[in-house]
Chain A
């Protein structure tokens, strides 16, 4: 209904100003359900801001992190979401390079999900800082940027660069469609190539952040980078499939079954590679356990009576296996009723495994052999929920106008 109205409402002159105006207008003019949904997200964001104010006043002692588990829920989510952002390449590559028509139609969804994921990544890093007001010390010129020595500076560069690319490319294409013009490939194709390499870059660099620390044997593992990619290329498309199923259900924008099938194949292949690598890691840790296997023991079986992570990691493995099997054998023939829960299972499984299941065991036992348990405090959970809502909010308010424009462009090109 709204979309139709939007299609009819075409102002004669279309400029960047009307583009921005229309985006705001379309977001404000959704049905009551959409407005309630945005309010719901806003409420969570407010709660997140409140929790952050508590943390700002008390310092990071408001979290349950300590000198032993010095990174917790925030950095776990950051690590996982980098993967989600990188996974957009799984749509960008076939859509723009191999000219796959089905995936080209939904590539905007992948790009917008990547933007949302990157916003969340940067927010998670920011809320994890002990001195957020000092963040300007990182800005080259007025601060001091320890590049290329510190991997963290690399990560800052690649994440911001990828965010810029993912705003620029779809922004240009959608803007051209908005003005009812074909975008000029000569203008955007070079950036597509950069963004493809960049996508692998963001996830490898994030893996190197951990991989490059000999102090932490659980992380200091050359398989980390490739495994990050494999799991990301499973979890990312899973999230995109979920978003597409939702879009299919609530909007005029219709997605072909064919598209879901292609996404499913990407997920299955990646998830299987991920599981093989997981098995290889587990083999190495447990065939001949050494002193360096203690973090893995802590993760999978518990150590010295500390076993908070054990149920989490086993459910993660269960969800991973089950999700992969369902997607591989495809009993529902890509029917959303089967696809949706399978994607959620796979996504959650990888979220646990690549989040808490990766960060905390890297830090426990401490280099001095201490073993403790970690569970996030309410402040951490509140801020995390707030950041998630912010991400979902960003995705929603960008995707809604983008899909209206795409739909309208399609109609106008057709007639």
Chain B
């Protein structure tokens, strides 16, 4: 089951070659007993980290594994799972995180607008997003992508999403894409366990622990807005954002789907998403669509706005606009 077990054993065997074969049966039996006790927990939470775990951790992992669907939990259960996850982060990685499960604020519907005239393609937003949302550094996951477009091009698929040179390039413009938080989201419709859904404030979220990893939502998304954890995501403790939300930037595991959540851990606290905060040119506008005095409403009213793939009827809450 566990490769580490074997490796340790082999190493020891080399050291003790002349003496007795201590790494033989007794050692094996001892470890096998450990496997029986802890292997189950390791399996539940996914293998590799399952060795020197305390009884408390085993119990917490089992409770996490057997917990229900987030939307059907009572407030008490939601609080309990958040406490468990905080404690597990401490036990597993030795980090103190603060996890929230703040519910949507009434009278709020989030919307986003992107100024294609202003964006110069610096990708500060991408960096900020990766840090804020604890995205996997190993596979270079990023929610936001910036496309360099020539004039006359309209769709990001025609542009260059892999540019690596000094920006801005004359006669080009830049276009950022991420999850558009569609009102009529094909991913929500597709998910067989409803592990992804739209919150009342318009944010399309994923209950990471409820996701079974079938990736049907990924096939259903016309905007390539979703990312899958093909490997165990890796974020160094030092770089980890400790202020987390259950539906937002908490650590994911391999085999789970994830996506942009408009930085739910920030936006529900009344702050701007990290990408909006980080943008040096002010190309990104975020706010409450239900508030007539918000900046986003001003943009929608006074600028020439458009959305991507309007013909699909997905009704995104993400507009592009031209100054």
Identify the A interface with B (CB < 8 A).
56-61, 63, 65-67, 70-71, 125, 128-135, 137-138, 143-146, 149-153, 156, 209-210, 213-216, 362-363, 365-370
Q: Assuming the A-B contacts A59-B254, A215-B186, are A369 and B156 also in contact, with contact meaning beta carbons closer than 8 angstroms in the complex?
A: yes
Q: Which of B238-278 contact A (CB under 8 A)?
A: 254-257
Nearest chain-A residue to B48 (Cβ)?
A: A57
Q: Which of B35-54 contact A (CB under 8 A)?
A: 43-44, 46-48
Report yes or no: B177 in contact with A368, Cβ–Cβ below 8 A.
Answer: yes
Q: Which residues of A contact B222 (CB under 8 A)?
A: 214-215, 367
Q: Which residues of A contact B19 (CB under 8 A)?
A: none
Report yes or no: B212 in contact with A70, Cβ–Cβ below 8 A.
Answer: no
**Docked pose: A131 CA to B215 CA in angstroms:** 11
B163 at the interface (CB under 8 A from A): no
Q: How far is the CB of A355 from chain B (nearest CB, A)?
A: 16
**Docked pose: A280 CA to B44 CA in angstroms:** 49
**Docked pose: A213 CA to B219 CA in angstroms:** 8
B168 at the interface (CB under 8 A from A): no
User: Which one of B75-83, B125-133, B226-234 is at the interface?
Assistant: B226-234
A370 touches which of B3, B48, B161, B192 (Cβ 8 Å): B161
Q: Which residues of B contact A63 (CB under 8 A)?
A: 230
Report yes or no: B230 in contact with A61, Cβ–Cβ below 8 A.
Answer: yes
Q: Assuming the A-B contacts A71-B215, A144-B194, are A368 and B145 also in contact, with contact meaning beta carbons closer than 8 angstroms in the complex?
A: yes
Identify the B interface with A (CB < 8 A).
3, 43-44, 46-48, 65, 69, 72, 139, 145, 147, 155-159, 161, 177, 186, 189-195, 209-216, 218-224, 227-232, 254-257, 312
Q: Which of A57, A210, A215, A363 has the most CB of B within 10 A?
A: A215
**Docked pose: A152 CA to B220 CA in angstroms:** 12
Q: How far is the CB of A231 from chain B (nearest CB, A)?
A: 21
Q: Which of B65, B220, B255 has the most CB of A within 10 A?
A: B255
Q: Which residues of B contact A145 (CB under 8 A)?
A: 192-193
Nearest chain-A residue to B312 (Cβ)?
A: A214
A-B contact pairs, 18 of them (CB 8 A): A58-B231, A59-B46, A59-B232, A60-B254, A61-B231, A67-B224, A130-B229, A130-B254, A132-B255, A133-B44, A137-B212, A143-B193, A151-B190, A213-B190, A215-B312, A362-B219, A367-B224, A368-B161
Q: Which residues of A contact B186 (CB under 8 A)?
A: 213-215
**Docked pose: A146 CA to B188 CA in angstroms:** 10
Report yes or no: B189 in contact with A131, Cβ–Cβ below 8 A.
Answer: no
Q: Which residues of A contact B47 (CB under 8 A)?
A: 56-57
Report yes or no: A365 in contact with B157, Cβ–Cβ below 8 A.
Answer: yes
Report yes or no: B189 in contact with A150, Cβ–Cβ below 8 A.
Answer: yes
